[in-house]
Structure 1
Amino acid sequence: MIMLFHPRGMANGPGDCHVMGENMMLAAHALGVGSCLVARGATTFDGPEGQRLLEQWGVPADYEPLCHIVLGYRDGPAPQAKPRRPGRIFKFVFFVPPLSAKPRRPGRIIRVG
């Protein structure tokens, strides 16, 4: 099991942790290892036992737990994805104007196909 932490108060901390976790899961898959992200890091360490573990592991007090990644080998073949249905692909377009620009209307969804 891998536990991901981020510095408390860091604006991009949770997002960075999830991106890092996704990259770890993709790397594990490439090596034939299965994975599952469990997004309950904060509640895992809420109680006295959790705090004791954080101290025992030497996790700095200014780091916040975010999620766990469980690793293992699959017991059987991987499930196959269903074929995609034609005309069911969406393209998301978001406009992020520069700070000096006037506000635009929010992003919109465009159906393709």
Structure 2
Amino acid sequence: MMDTILTRRSVRSFEERQIPEESLNQILLAGSYAPSGRNLQTWKFTAVQNPQVMAGINTAIRNALRAVTIEEDTHPYVSFLKTKAEREDSEFLFRAPTYVIVSNQRENVNALADTAVALENMMLAAHSFGIGSCWLNHLPGLTRQPVIRSLMAELAIPEDHDIYGTLALGWPKNKLPAAPPRKAEIHIIR
């Protein structure tokens, strides 16, 4: 387990071949075994492997970003994404063969935390199979936009849900780099 944790990296370049069905099932199962506040388990995992649906998701993200109004206090990364979205060839899913959307009931005060631990379980499970992953945050910031709400309806994501995180999955195109030095401050009081 420690080796899996210490060697996992975010992957942003994937081979075109699809991951095995059994691996995907195990990755999603790992997500479902994550802890959740009061054990409510109100999340929904929507895995997409259909290339046409993936292209539709990418287009919806691009169109939603184009509709974002840039203001003085807009985060610079959002401004970068909006500029990127102006290009017709902009790709927001890293051309991954599998994309997992984690939604959760918006009334659940633990929705973001529950989603985070589920996604981490999925990323660790994927890495244990040699499958690369990258947590993507495009959709959570856009989840209330009409084009994204329409996409969510098409994907059978419940109306009382918001998207809290997504995950690109696939075989890494390149060898994973070594971990950079850790910046965490660790303080133990004995």
The answer to whether the 8 Å contact 2:104/2:164 transfers is: yes
Q: 2:149 aligns with which of 37, 47, 51?
A: 51
Indicate the percent of aligned positions where both proteins have the same amino acid: 30
User: RCO (CA 8 Å, sep 6+): is it higher in 1 or 2?
Assistant: 2
Bigger CA radius of gyration: 1
Distance 1:27 1:20 in 2: 11
TM-score of the superposition, structure 1-length normalised?
A: 0.68
The answer to whether the 8 Å contact 2:140/2:162 transfers is: yes
Larger strand percent: 1
Larger helix percent: 2
Please show how residues 1-113 of structure 1 align to structure 2 within 5 Å. 1-81=99-179, 90-92=185-187
The one-letter amino acid of 1:55's match is A
Q: How many residues align?
A: 91
The 1:45/1:82 distance shift into structure 2, 3 A limit, reads closer
What displacement does 1:73 show?
1.3
What displacement does 1:6 show?
1.0
What displacement does 1:44 show?
3.7
Q: Which runs of 5 or more structure 1 residues have no equivalent in the other structure?
A: 94-109
What displacement does 1:40 show?
3.0
